[in-house]
Amino acid sequence: MKKVVITPAKSFSLGTSEIAPDKSISHRSVMFAMLSDGVSEIENFLRAEDTLNSLEIVKHLGAHVEDDGTTIKISSKGIQEPFEILDCGNSGTGMRLFCGLLSSAKGHFILTGDKYLRRRPMKRVTAPLMSIGAKLDGREDGDFAPLSIRGASLKAFDYESKIASAQVKSAMILAALRADGICKYREPELSRDHTERMLKGMGADIKTDGLQTTITPLKSLLSPLKIRVPADPSSAFFFAVAAAIIPGSHVMLEGITLNPTRIEAFKALERMGVDIQYDLYDEKYEPVGNITVKYAPLKGIVIEDKIAWLIDELPALSIAMACAEGESVVKNAKELRVKESDRIATVVKALHACGIAVEEYEDGYKITGGELKKAVVDSDGDHRIAMSFIIAGLKCGMEVSDLDCINTSFPNFFSLVQKITQVGFL
C-alpha cells in the first residue's frame, strides 16, 4: 500500500471501542513484567510494530511469554544476556526505556532501530545514565543508535532534567530501582506518569511530590502486573479532530485513558469551542473512561504550556487549527523537532501544500485558519503525520503517501476511517 486517496466526508456519527490500545502503557507493561518473578497478565496489549518489537525484545531477554491472542502472560527469571541484537524498530520509547532497564542488568546488550530511530538523539538518556556509572556507548559519543550496554553497578542520584520527557524520566526510574541508594529525579514540567503509576501498582516505593520523583531501590522483586491496557488518547484524538472539523459530526471514543498528562489536546479542542465530555468508569493503575466529542465551529488558540501533555497530538491539532477561525500559535514545542520526523518542518510543509498560511518558528508555528485544499502529502515515515493528513482529507479530500508507518501505532486506523468516508488505496 503506497498511497491512499481520501474522499471528503459528510457529517457522521461514530461510536467505537476499537481505538488502538495505549502505546506507552503497552511498552511499559512487557518491560515491567521483567521486574517480577510472578506471572504478569496483560490484556488489550497494542499489537502494532513498535510494541510488538518490545515484546520480542523481552523474549530475547529470557522472558517466558504465553499469548492466547487475548491475554499475554509473561514470567521472568531475571534478565538474561541475549544472543540477538535487540531491534526497537521505530520506537524511541522502546529504546530509551530499555537503556534504563538494561543499564544495571548482567550482560552485554546491543540496541538498534530503523533508519529513523538511528537518527534520533539518545544522549538525553545515555548521558545521565553514564553519570551514575552505566556503561553505554553508541555512535557520536553515545548519542545515536546502535547503542551498546554493558550492565554495571549504578550510583544513587539526584538528577535535574532540563527537558520534560517521560522517556528520560522512565529510564532514570528504571535505573534507580537497582541503584545503591535513594534517588531523586526532577523535571521542568510534569511529563506522562505511567511508569510511576504502574510500578507503584506493582509495589515499588516511588513518591511524587510536584515535579520531583523519589525512588527507593528494590529490596525484592515486584508483584506481577495485572493490567488491561486502556485505549490510546493520542490515537483517539485523530477521530476527535475528525468530528471537530466536519459540521454536524459526533464521536464516542470508548475505554480511553483519562490520565490528565495525556488528554490535554482534548482540553485544547474544548478551548477552541468543541463540546467534549469525559465519563470516567475505572481507576486501576490509570483512570479510564469514554470521551464524547461534538462538532462546533472552531476558533484559534495559543498553546505555550503543558506541552509535554499534548506533544504527540500537535500534528492532529494543527489540522483543527487550519480549520479554525483566526490565528493559532504553538510555542515552546522544540521537542517536536526530534520526534519520528521533524514535526515542525513536516506539519508546516504539508499545511502549505494544503493552501494554509503557516509561519515556522524554531519552537513551533503560527497557523492562520482558512480553507484546506486537497493536496499530495508525504508522511516522511511518521505515523502521526500520515494519520493527521488523512483526517484533513475528510474535510477536503487528500492523497497521502508513505503509509506503512501507521502500523507502528494504529494498525486498524483505516478500518475506522472507512466508517466515515471512502478510502481508495493505490
Catalytic site positions: 312
Q: Is 409 in the site for ligand S3P (CB under 6 A)?
A: no
Pick from 298, 322, 307, 327: which is nearest to 264 by CA? 307
Q: Is 421 in the site for ligand S3P (CB under 6 A)?
A: no
User: What is the distance between the alpha carbons of residues 98 and 167, in angstroms, rounded to a whole number?
Assistant: 10
Question: Contacting ligand S3P (CB under 6 A), which of 24, 40, 53, 261?
Answer: 24
Q: Pick the closer one to ligand S3P by CB: 93 or 213.
A: 93
Per-residue DSSP letters for 169-181? Answer: HHHHHHHHTTBSS
Please state the closest distance from residue 145 (CB atom) to ligand S3P, in A: 15
Helix (H, G, I), strand (E, B) or coil at 251: strand
Backbone φ, ψ for residue 400 (5° rounding): -125, 135
Q: Per CB under 6 A, which region of 98-106, 162-170, 252-260, 369-377 contacts ligand S3P?
A: 162-170
Pick from 193, 175, 192: which is nearest to 184 by CA? 175
Q: Is 93 in the site for ligand S3P (CB under 6 A)?
A: yes
Q: Is 165 in the site for ligand S3P (CB under 6 A)?
A: yes
Q: Is 166 in the site for ligand S3P (CB under 6 A)?
A: yes
133: region left, alpha or beta (phi > 0 left; psi from -120 to 50 alpha): left
Site string (299-328) toward ligand S3P, x via CB under 6 A: ---------x--xx----------------
User: What is the distance between the alpha carbons of residues 269 and 244, in angstroms, rounded to a whole number?
Assistant: 8
Q: How many residues bind ligand S3P (CB under 6 A)?
A: 12
Residues shown for the chain: 426
Q: Pick the closer one to ligand S3P by CB: 12 or 365.
A: 365
How far, in Å, are 2, 205, 280, 370, 390 from residue 401 at the CA level?
6, 47, 37, 24, 10
Q: Is 235 in the site for ligand S3P (CB under 6 A)?
A: no
Q: Are 92 and 116 in contact (CB under 8 A)?
A: no
How does DSSP classify residue 19?
S
Q: Is 29 in the site for ligand S3P (CB under 6 A)?
A: no
Q: Is 408 in the site for ligand S3P (CB under 6 A)?
A: no
Q: Pick the closer one to ligand S3P by CB: 228 or 383.
A: 383
Please state the closest distance from residue 298 (CB atom) to ligand S3P, in A: 24
Which residues contribute to the site for ligand S3P (CB under 6 A)?
A: 24, 93, 165-167, 170, 191-192, 308, 311-312, 335
